[in-house]
């Protein structure tokens, strides 16, 4: 392992450790990660300054409020149709004669901001549309605080080709935990990465017992408050499969040395086992403030970024093996991760379509993974050594989305017949 290339995320390396306030660009500012990051910035004005914000365009009033609070130079929306509402919302927030921030719009707007002058880009966009901004930030030499796991999943080789060692700092709670635990030892002494999973709302159920679960049940997560897509991914454990692929790419650890263990309390966010038998765990109550602070501030820690444990109170922590029969998503993710090339992009795109179908009531819960598996199988095995381009990823995603919609519609029609 010592002869392997330096990992993309390495706590012993940092691409840029400039002193003073860090200028930040926040992508996906109106989402869960973005709003929590802005809260952290507002509580630490001596450490951070936000220069630009981007969002999809569906929450223009919130975006305008954020822009005014932070006094940013530029705001961007992916939907050009949202510009009039955004401009009006900005006028309502800003005083008479006060200059409004520049407005960018369109599918390339977030990537433009990602390449703009700043220290760190926080990519909090949901979905594979975050790939282009990830690549833009890396190409521009920015430190990338990565919450958009999909961009690494679908474009792993493209990301690895651009990223300098240590240029990426992960913001997922699990990968921020691994990142911190890895700081305690040498890379050559790492035996295993242990990624924890809450088990979601259906932990302990058999596949048969999952057949009739409802949208509302799947959206009720026992320990985390997240957006609908991520919450459903947690219910199917697809999120954990994606995190296994992400851990492999970030830390250059083989798949057979990345283990998933179910930990319902979500206190231990992940662990690193070393060759001497020691296991180091990163522990906090379930809260994204800590991982976001690591992404924006490393190697410095931000005081009171997240709540700490009250060790005067008794608590019970449990760990269980993963039920691979009821939740086959992790095994399938390992498979596509091993295949590489466009296979992870197909897996992710098909899952996104199937989650949409489930949320819309067009697909049963078990149908999500059944359909994803069928799409991945039909896609086949990429030829070894085939170079990957952004066009290849986009083409594979387009095919996978269309095929997943076709199979979902077929399953719905058969269920109604």
Question: What distance in Å separates the CA atoms of residue 219 and residue 226, rounded to the nearest whole number?
Answer: 9
395 is in an annotated binding site: no
As a whole number, mean pLDDT of residues 197-220 equals 91
33 is in an annotated binding site: yes
- 195 and 50 in a single domain? The answer is no
As a whole number, mean pLDDT of residues 305-322 equals 94
pLDDT for position 200: 86
- Is residue 16 situated within a structural domain? no
351 is in an annotated binding site: no
pLDDT for position 15: 62
- Is residue 10 situated within a structural domain? no
pLDDT for position 18: 55
- The total of other beta-carbon atoms located within 10 Å of residue 92's CB is 11
- 318 and 189 in a single domain? The answer is yes
227 is in an annotated binding site: yes
- 288 and 314 in a single domain? The answer is yes
- 30 and 70 in a single domain? The answer is yes
160 is in an annotated binding site: no
Give a three-class secondary structure readout of the chain.
Answer: CCCCCCCCCCCCCCCCCCCCCEEEEEECCCCHHHHHHHHHHHHCCCCEEEEEEEECCCCHHHHHHHHHHHCCCEEEECCHHHHHHHHHHHHHHCCCCCCCCEEEECCCHHHHHHCCCCCEEEECCCCHHHHHHHHHHHHCCCEEEECCHHHHHHCHHHHHHHCCCCCEEECCHHHHHHHHHHCCCCHHHEEEEEEEECCHHHCCCCCHHHCCCCHHHHCCCCCCCCCHHHHHHHHHCHHHHHHHHHHHHHHCCCHHHEEEEECCCCCEEEEEEECCCCEEEEECCCCCHHHHHHHHHCCCCCCCCCCCCCCCCCCCCCCEECCCCCCCHHHHHHHHHHHCCCHHHHHHHHHHHHHHHHHCCCCCHHHHHHHHHHHHHHHCCCCCCCCCCHHHHHHHHHHHHHHHHHHHHHHHHHHHC
173 is in an annotated binding site: yes
34 is in an annotated binding site: no
- 170 and 184 in a single domain? The answer is no
- Is residue 9 situated within a structural domain? no
- Is residue 15 situated within a structural domain? no
For 101, the domain range is: 22-175
Query: Is the pLDDT at 136 greater than 50, yes or no?
Result: yes
pLDDT for position 2: 38
329 is in an annotated binding site: no
- 45 and 148 in a single domain? The answer is yes
As a whole number, mean pLDDT of residues 30-52 equals 96
- Is residue 35 situated within a structural domain? yes
As a whole number, mean pLDDT of residues 156-167 equals 93
pLDDT for position 229: 84
186 is in an annotated binding site: no
234 is in an annotated binding site: yes
51 is in an annotated binding site: no
- 129 and 228 in a single domain? The answer is no
Sign of CA dihedral 238, 262, 131, 27: positive
150 is in an annotated binding site: yes
Which pLDDT band, with edges at 50, 70 and 90, does 207 fall under?
A: very high
Query: Is the pLDDT at 416 greater than 80, yes or no?
Result: no
- 375 and 230 in a single domain? The answer is yes
Which CATH number does the domain housing residue 29 bear?
3.40.50.720
pLDDT for position 3: 43
- Is residue 14 situated within a structural domain? no
Which CATH number does the domain housing residue 270 bear?
1.10.1740.10
Q: Considering its fold, how many domains does the chain have in total? A: 2
149 is in an annotated binding site: yes
- 287 and 169 in a single domain? The answer is no
44 is in an annotated binding site: no
Domain boundary among 156, 175, 194: 175
- Is residue 108 situated within a structural domain? yes
pLDDT for position 395: 94
Question: What distance in Å separates the CA atoms of residue 344 and residue 333, rounded to the nearest whole number?
Answer: 7
410 is in an annotated binding site: no
Domain boundary among 158, 175, 192: 175
- 209 and 293 in a single domain? The answer is yes
Query: Is the pLDDT at 297 greater than 50, yes or no?
Result: yes
- 142 and 206 in a single domain? The answer is no
Which pLDDT band, with edges at 50, 70 and 90, does 386 fall under?
A: confident
Which pLDDT band, with edges at 50, 70 and 90, does 17 fall under?
A: low
Predicted TM-score of the model (pTM): 0.91
């Amino acid at each position: 392992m010592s002869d392997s290339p330096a990992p993309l995320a390495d706590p012993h390396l940092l691409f840029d450790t400039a002193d003073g306030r860090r200028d930040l660009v926040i992508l996906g500012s109106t989402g869960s990660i973005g709003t929590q990051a802005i809260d952290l910035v507002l509580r630490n004005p001596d450490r951070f300054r936000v220069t630009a914000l981007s969002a999809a365009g569906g929450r223009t009033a919130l975006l305008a409020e954020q822009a005014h609070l932070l006094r940013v130079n530029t705001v961007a929306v992916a939907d050009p149709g949202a510009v009039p509402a955004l401009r009006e919302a900005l006028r309502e927030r800003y005083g008479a004669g006060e200059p409004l921030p520049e407005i960018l719009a369109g599918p390339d707007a977030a990537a433009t901001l990602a390449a703009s002058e700043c220290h760190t880009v926080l990519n909090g966009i949901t979905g594979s549309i975050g790939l282009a901004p990830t690549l833009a930030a890396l190409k521009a030499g920015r430190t990338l605080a990565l919450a958009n796991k999909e961009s690494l999943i679908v474009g792993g080789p493209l990301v690895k080709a651009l990223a300098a060692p240590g240029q990426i700092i992960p913001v997922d709670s699990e990968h921020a935990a691994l990142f911190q635990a890895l700081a305690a030892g040498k890379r050559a002494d790492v035996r295993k990465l242990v990624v924890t999973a809450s088990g979601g709302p259906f932990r302990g159920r058999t596949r048969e017992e999952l057949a009739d679960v409802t949208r509302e049940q799947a959206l009720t997560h026992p320990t985390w408050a997240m957006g609908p897509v991520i919450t459903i991914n947690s219910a199917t454990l697809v999120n954990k499969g994606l995190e296994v692929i992400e851990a492999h790419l970030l830390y250059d650890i083989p798949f057979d040395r990345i283990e998933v263990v179910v930990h319902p309390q979500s206190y231990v966010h992940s662990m690193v086992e070393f060759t001497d038998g020691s296991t180091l765990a990163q522990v906090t109550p379930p809260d994204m403030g800590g991982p976001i602070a690591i992404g924006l501030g490393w190697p410095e820690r931000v005081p009171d970024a997240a709540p700490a444990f009250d060790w005067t109170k008794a608590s019970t922590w449990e760990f269980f093996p993963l039920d691979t029969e009821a939740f086959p998503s992790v095994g399938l993710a390992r498979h596509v991760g091993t295949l590489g090339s466009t296979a992870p992009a197909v897996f992710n795109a098909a899952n996104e379509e199937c989650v949409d179908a489930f949320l819309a009531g067009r697909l049963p819960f078990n149908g999500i993974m059944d359909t994803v598996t069928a799409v991945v199988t039909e896609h086949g095995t990429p030829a070894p050594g085939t170079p990957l381009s952004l066009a290849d990823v986009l083409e594979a995603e387009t095919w996978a989305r269309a095929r997943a919609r076709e199979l979902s519609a077929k399953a719905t029609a058969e269920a109604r017949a």
